[in-house]
């Protein structure tokens, strides 16, 4: 609801700016017309595009705020309910279905251990060891230095995961 009110407020402010600008421009054009400068008066009137832009943006913001507020005030009971099918009374009973046995999902391989293995460090190695291993092999793995793009992608993903793990385990540390 706050976003809708904020949009309405910004729209009203934009319309207010448009009115003030249009007033100044019209006053200037009128003043130039009275002093015998029809060209300056016409040029001043050409500047009315600026308040028109503010007015257009204000109208869009107000419309956005109204749509948002109407959306938030819609009834919540408009959710779709599942359709229940009732069999006729003379229909034979439906055969009982056995509940499917829950399938044991294989545990995914430990991403941390796989990343350590990819870089060639032991799981639980201190961060300076991981970083030193990365820097030592960087020139061998990088595609610009003769490494394959697939190898580089795997090594970079492993290093990025271990870097994130380090930051998770030791927030604020190197």
Q: Greater confidence, 143 or 88?
A: 143
Mean pLDDT of 153-158: 91
Q: What is the pLDDT of residue 92?
A: 72
pLDDT digits (tens, 9 = 90+) for 102-113: 666 554 468 888
pLDDT digits (tens, 9 = 90+) for 80-89: 566 767 767 7
Query: How far is residue 133's CA from residue 125's CA, in Å, rounded to a whole number?
Result: 11
Going by C-alpha positions, the residue among 127, 14, 116 that lies closest to residue 60 is 14
Q: What is the pLDDT of residue 104?
A: 61
Q: What is the pTM of this model?
A: 0.40
Q: What is the pLDDT of residue 19?
A: 92
Going by C-alpha positions, the residue among 30, 22, 12 that lies closest to residue 47 is 22
């Amino acid at each position: 609801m706050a976003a809708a009110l904020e949009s309405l407020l910004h729209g009203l402010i934009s319309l207010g700016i448009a009115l003030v600008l249009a007033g100044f421009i019209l006053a200037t054009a009128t003043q130039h017309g009275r002093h015998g400068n029809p060209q300056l008066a016409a040029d001043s009137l050409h500047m009315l595009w600026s308040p028109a832009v503010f007015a257009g943006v204000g109208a869009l913001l107000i419309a956005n705020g109204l749509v948002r507020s109407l959306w938030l005030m819609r009834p919540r009971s408009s959710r779709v309910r599942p359709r229940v099918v009732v069999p006729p009374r003379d229909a034979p009973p439906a055969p009982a279905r056995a509940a499917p046995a829950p399938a044991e999902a294989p545990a995914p391989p430990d991403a941390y251990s796989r990343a350590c293995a990819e870089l060639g460090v032991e799981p639980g190695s201190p961060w300076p060891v991981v970083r030193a291993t990365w820097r030592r092999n960087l020139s061998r793995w990088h595609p610009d230095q003769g490494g394959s793009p697939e190898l580089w992608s795997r090594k970079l993903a492993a290093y990025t995961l271990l870097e994130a793990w380090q930051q998770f385990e030791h927030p604020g540390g190197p």
